[in-house]
């Protein structure tokens, strides 16, 4: 049974091994994205896979939503313990009112506070 996970995007364990596909097709979202990334125009993708413009835009919107939820991992990232130490050291002497509503930026060796614009 197909389950809609985003507008025009569905998953069904019996279709493409449960990968997200464009609703009403067997066209995987990753295929649409890969073709666009490879240089095909939206019109070429639509023609090649018999998709509507809204289908291609839905694939892009779905990918954008997933990327927005990602947390970047870096090979040399600080450990949680080290980050907590950096925050404590950087915020020493500040009160809650100095911190609330501001962006705390933790970098190796320093902690910065930036007020939202």
Lowest mean pLDDT among 13-17, 66-70, 80-84: 80-84
pLDDT at 41 over 60: yes
Distance CA 72, CA 66 (A): 12
Q: Provide the residue ranges of all domains of the chain, joining segments of one domain with +.
A: 3-69, 80-114
CATH number for domain 3-69, candidates 1.10.10.10, 3.40.50.150, 2.60.120.10, 2.60.40.420: 1.10.10.10
Helix (H, G, I), strand (E, B) or coil at 87: helix
User: Quick one: three-class SS letters along 45-82?
Assistant: HHHHHCCCHHHHHHHHHHHHHHHHHCCCCCCCCCCHHH
Lowest mean pLDDT among 41-45, 48-52, 56-60, 83-87: 83-87
């Amino acid at each position: 049974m197909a389950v809609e996970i985003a507008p025009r995007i569905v998953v069904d364990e019996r279709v493409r091994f449960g990968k997200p596909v464009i609703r009403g097709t067997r066209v995987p979202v990753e295929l649409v994205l890969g073709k666009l990334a490879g240089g095909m125009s939206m019109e070429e993708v639509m023609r090649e896979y018999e998709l509507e413009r809204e289908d291609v835009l839905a694939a892009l919107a779905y990918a954008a939503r997933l990327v927005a939820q990602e947390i970047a991992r870096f090979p040399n990232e600080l450990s949680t313990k080290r980050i907590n130490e950096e925050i404590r050291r950087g915020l020493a002497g500040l009160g809650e009112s100095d911190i609330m509503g501001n962006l705390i930026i933790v970098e190796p060796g320093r902690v910065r506070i930036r007020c939202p614009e």
